A and B are shown apart, each in its own frame.
Chain A
Amino acid sequence: MTDTPNGWMLKGSQILLESLINQGVDTIFGYPGGSIMPVYDALYDYTDRLRHILVRHEQGAIHAAQGYARVKNFPGTVIVTSGPGATNVITGVADAMIDSTPVVVIAGQVASAALGTDAFQETDLIGMTTPISKWAYQIRRPKDIAWAVARAYYIAASGRPGPVVLDFTKDAQIGLAEYVRKSCSFIRSYVPVPEPSGSSLAEAAAMIDAARKPFVVYGHGIILSGAEKELAAFLDKGNIPAGSTMLGLSALDSDSPHYTGMLGMHGSLASNVLTQECDLLIAVGMRFDDRVTGTVSTYARQAKVIHIDIDASEIGKNIPVDLGILGDAREVLSELTRRISAGVQRDWDGEKATCEAVEKKMVIDPEIHPSEGLIKPGEVIAAVAEACGGKAVVVTDVGQNQLFASRYSRFKQSRSMITSGGLGTMGFGLPAAIGAKVAAPERPVCLFVGDGGIQMTVQEFGTIMQEGIGVKIILLNNNWLGNVRQWQSLFFDGRYSFTRMLNPDFEKLASAYGITCVTLEDRAQMPAAIEQMLADDRPFILNVHVAEEDNVFPMIPPGKSVGEIMLNNKDWFVYGK
């Protein structure tokens, strides 16, 4: 390290690590390899300032970084090598893009002289990740590193967050440059947070005051903008009920009197019925995903629609809107709360309570309080939620485990539901839970995962073992790819094409990694098993043999309106009938 007039002469690999520290990074999820070896060599001297978690597969690194980012509200950092190391993170990059998760991936690349020559482990990472990242940039000179890293963290975290990919050539890692600290808070072509227009806010406030049956649908944007308090205040003052998307879960206390439950395909009856009954739909920080809307041509057709979002390309993309407000959810909600009148009489007439009573009798009670038969997945989730009292970070994989967990978990604190919503990535859960626990070591982290999904990234048991990460893994084991089986049962004449799983002995597998595993088959043993699981901070697997062919209800079948809801295998609730 030589002093220069403005900084120090460092190798590119050192500049990278100094720049990461300068951005506030203290944790890296990664895996070494040929083209990133200079960075790993430099990392050897930085272990006092940077915690590096060695995963077992690069996909594990990026999902862990996503879990970390979502809990910590700080971009997750991934370091991998070129070629297969880089292509192995692609699923996670796409997942982070569609779920607006800030992550920065630093991938090694062959030396710039070898670019384009099909060199060993060379791949066009920029070409591959441009469509699925917020920004993808190749660093070819050591003097560009500090600038690129500052820009990467700014882009990843600002506005609507997302993944950034830095493709880092080996010669840039080795070469020397003067290191000068850089920060970035402005890019002239990039407007992360648009200003809401005063006239649109005034118009919205007037529409809200005039509405007889307003209904709020909110999403991840509430959490991303830190608008949890502003949302609660808005609902209080306006006396407005509100339903959440899957990624919005935990933004509002599950016990809020305004809360109607999750929206969409497996959402609550109340949330979907209120969508079809309201006269004003106020959407905040959500993007009208097809899992929320069902058939768009029949979605909330009776209502006027106000859509508040930070991303101009979302407004009017799926659902025609009467009024779009561009801006940050926190700022817009606090401004609207100031402008709307308090104590406006609404015409909601017990619709929420009626729906909740029907759902409790027809769906919830049979799922979480069954009197006989094998343990049901919803029953396990409700019992874990009860034992955790809303303190846990809930992480899910994808499929029935995710849908049941979304329905039966209870939340008291924001940033407590980590799931792969938009991409629906099986295998996300286990590594994401590792990242979540690293981000919040003081909180219990409960992963709900199926026997299918856990085997997609099961190698991360090794990471848990090596790092001693105390995640609680609740394996809802039914020996099926449950969600696909459910669809085969309901929509493909019960033709169970390749959804039956012959599973390993999970106790033996856990034992190989030194992780405690308890198998649960008897309902009477469940409270004690959950107590044992939560008793200390060590990793734990609760292998629950659940009912093999249980289906998630309510369900809006594909192609149906959100008012046409299956309550079980034979009963329907059809709105307006």
Chain B
Amino acid sequence: MESEKLYEITAYTENQVGLLSSVAGIFTRRSINIEKLLVYPSKIDGIHKFKILARTTEKNARAVVLQMEKRVDVVRAFYQEDNERSFREIVSVGRFLKERENNNKQQ
């Protein structure tokens, strides 16, 4: 059995009604208890950030992140061990959105 650790899972989303239950439901399905949850506007205009602390295996953390990203209104999602702090995420989300908009303009 893979050991459980505390993971910080972040998701950057559109600001849509019902997203909280949509995101929370992905944890519920796998019986992962959410220890902490914070939702607030990110530094990117119109994009919200979910910050979730949960104890689970890395396999589950990865699966949860991929299933979050699958939701239409979730832009990107990430996981990391609670003691790692990454400041690259916001840069990465900003770049992703810019690329998406550019691709769309080119088409």
Contacts and interface: CB of A to CB of B under 8 A. Distances in A.
Interface in B9-35: 13-14, 17-18, 21-22, 25, 29
A187 B101 CA distance: 9
Interface residues of B, number: 23
A134 B67 contact: no
Contacts of B83: none
B72 A127 contact: no
A317 B29 CA distance: 15
A135 B72 contact: yes
Contact of A189 (B63, B66, B72, B104): B72
B69 interface: yes
Contacts of B70: 311-313
29 contacts: A126-B17, A126-B18, A127-B21, A130-B21, A130-B22, A130-B25, A131-B25, A134-B72, A135-B72, A135-B73, A136-B18, A138-B17, A155-B72, A186-B107, A188-B101, A188-B104, A189-B13, A189-B14, A189-B72, A189-B75, A190-B72, A190-B73, A191-B100, A311-B70, A312-B69, A312-B70, A313-B63, A313-B67, A313-B69
Contact of B104 (A130, A131, A186): A186
Contacts of B21: 127, 130
Interface residues of A, number: 20
Contacts, number: 46
Contacts of A138: 17
Interface of A: 126-127, 130-131, 134-136, 138, 155, 186-191, 311-313, 316-317
B72 A317 contact: no
Contact of B97 (A135, A188, A312, A313): A188
The winner among A189, A312, A317 for most chain B CB atoms within 10 A is: A189
Closest 6 CB pairs of A and B: A313-B66, A189-B75, A131-B25, A186-B104, A190-B72, A130-B22
Contacts of B100: 188, 191
Contacts of B13: 189
Contacts of A131: 22, 25, 29
B53 interface: no
A188 B96 CA distance: 9
Contacts of B72: 134-135, 155, 187, 189-190
B73 to A, nearest CB: 6
